[in-house]
Amino acid sequence: MTESPYRWVIVAAGGVIGCVAIGCMFSLPVFIVPINEATGWSRTGISGAMTIAFIAMALGSMGWGMLSDRFGPRMVVLAGAVLLSASLFALSFIDTLPAFQFIYGILIGGAMAAFFAPMMATVTGWFETQRGLAVSLVSAGMGMAPVTMSPLAAWLIANHDWRTSYQIMAVIAAVILIPLAFLLRKPPALATAGGAAVGDIPEQQGMTAREALTSYPFIILALTNFFCCATHSGPIFHTVSYAMACGIPAMTAVTIYSVEGIAGMAGRLGFGMLADKLGAKTLLVAGLLVQAFGALGYFYSSDLAAFYAVATVFGFVYAGTMPLYAVLARENFPLRMMGTIIGGTSMAGSLGMATGPLFGGWIFDTTGDYGWLYIACFGMGIGAVLIAMLFRPFPVQQKPEPAAA
């Protein structure tokens, strides 16, 4: 079967959508200090908004994924784009920490869930060959956020107050995300009766969503994603603040985040191409192991050169592992439920991401340092490795060999 060239339009749209959406949400680390200084709210309280956002993402991921399976990605991503833009604009009018946590945590976090699972499910459905590369390209677009949106946020906050900065980011989000949502289409295979697709395992074509979500491969994928994201959540969110605590100026500290992002783009592309050749599970286990030691590396960093070195390794591996979950999901579950399956693993990952911001903020407020955050992340990283090693794909029934003449 000849694959449609439009699949690359889906990849391009997904990459840009991911970059802008992820960038808007992950701009909060740049805003922590200005918001703290302007309002007097604690770092724990401000960071807690991100934790709430990840919980909202977790709760919304499977729901948005199911809606994507039923109605297609266009309407789901469009709804997320409108909600994200409106919520960013609303941030500029709030005066209390609970209101900030509600808008940033519940509304923005809920909006973000409308992007990742539907986009990844759609891309995996458009590709039968070069699937690892395609998913990695979309993920690489998301990885552009630290290189593009974070410096933009830093520039805005340097030239405007935090409220005006969020208003400008809201307009940028609306202008870019809403038009791109209209480019999205369901995978061609889902237009056929029953939604069976090339690449679906015959033994799983009759599987129900309930059976899939309670299966051994799904549970292991979800647990691995949780501990994987718990490992890199704290280092990602608190790197800028940690570097500033080490005496590095704010604008320079943001460049560490950008180095992570640049390395992450290389990791996403590299891991994606290798996954098509070597297998997603092998790369996942190796990447998780290096990620654990990368998180520990921040514990020993105190100057800019050390931060850059660790950020390069850490960004490369944590970003490279993330697209592999979607590849493994597509290899083991029917296309017609990809939104649900990827939404489910994303839910677990979002819960893992929720641990870092609040935990790191609490450690800093309690001890005045981030050291124990990185030690704990190392432990969770080793846990992710051990769980990933337990992953086993669904057994495929072998066809009987033809009888010898």
For residues 209 and 189, give the distance between their C-alpha atoms in angstroms, rounded to a whole number: 18
| pLDDT at res. 193 | 44
Please provide residue 286's backbone torsions phi and psi, each rounded to the nearest 5 degrees.
-65, -45
For residues 6 and 255, give the distance between their C-alpha atoms in angstroms, rounded to a whole number: 35
| pLDDT at res. 375 | 92
Q: What is the 3-state secondary structure (H, E, C) of the chain?
A: CCCCCCHHHHHHHHHHHHHHHHHHHCCHHHHHHHHHHHHCCCHHHHHHHHHHHHHHHHHHHHHHHHHHHHHCHHHHHHHHHHHHHHHHHHHCCCCCHHHHHHHHHHHHHHHHCCCHHHHHHHHHHHCCCCHHHHHHHHHHHHHCHHHHHHHHHHHHHHHCCHHHHHHHHHHHHHHHHHHHHCCCCCCHHHHCHHHCCCCCCHHHCCCCHHHHHCCHHHHHHHHHHHHHHHHHHHHHHHHHHHHHHCCCCHHHHHHHHHHHHHHHHHHHHHHHHHHHHHCHHHHHHHHHHHHHHHHHHHHCCCCHHHHHHHHHHHHHHHHHHHHHHHHHHHHHCCHHHHHHHHHHHHHHHHHHHHHHHHHHHHHHHHHCCCHHHHHHHHHHHHHHHHHHCCCCCCCCCCCCCCCCC
* Domains in the chain: ranges and CATH: 7-184+209-388 (1.20.1250.20)
pTM over 0.75: no
Helix axes 250-278, 304-332, angle to 10 degrees: 40
Angle at CA 254, nearest 5°, toward 54 and 176? 60
The residue behind tokens 């060999």 is: 401
Please provide residue 308's backbone torsions phi and psi, each rounded to the nearest 5 degrees.
-60, -45
Amino acid at 382: I
| pLDDT at res. 72 | 86
For residues 136 and 139, give the distance between their C-alpha atoms in angstroms, rounded to a whole number: 5
Residues whose CB falls within 8 Å of the CB of residue 116, separated by 6 or more in sequence, listed in order: 18, 61, 142, 342, 346
Residues whose CB falls within 8 Å of the CB of residue 212, separated by 6 or more in sequence, listed in order: 204, 218, 333, 334, 337, 340, 341
| pLDDT at res. 57 | 83
Of 230, 187, 115, 223, the closest CA to residue 334 belongs to: 187
| pLDDT at res. 399 | 46
For residues 272 and 118, give the distance between their C-alpha atoms in angstroms, rounded to a whole number: 19
| pLDDT at res. 259 | 87
Q: 292 and 378 in contact (C-beta within 8 Å)?
A: yes
Flag residues of the chain having pLDDT under 50.
193, 398-401, 403-405
User: Residue 36: exposed, middle, or buried by beta-carbon count in 10 A (0-12, 13-18, 19+)?
Assistant: middle
User: How many other C-beta atoms can be found within 10 angstroms of the C-beta atom of residue 164?
Assistant: 13
Of 118, 130, 101, the closest CA to residue 41 belongs to: 101
**CA dihedral in degrees (350, 97, 143, 22; nearest 10)?**
80
Residues whose CB falls within 8 Å of the CB of residue 68, separated by 6 or more in sequence, listed in order: 76, 117, 118, 121, 122, 339, 343
| pLDDT at res. 211 | 86
| pLDDT at res. 405 | 42
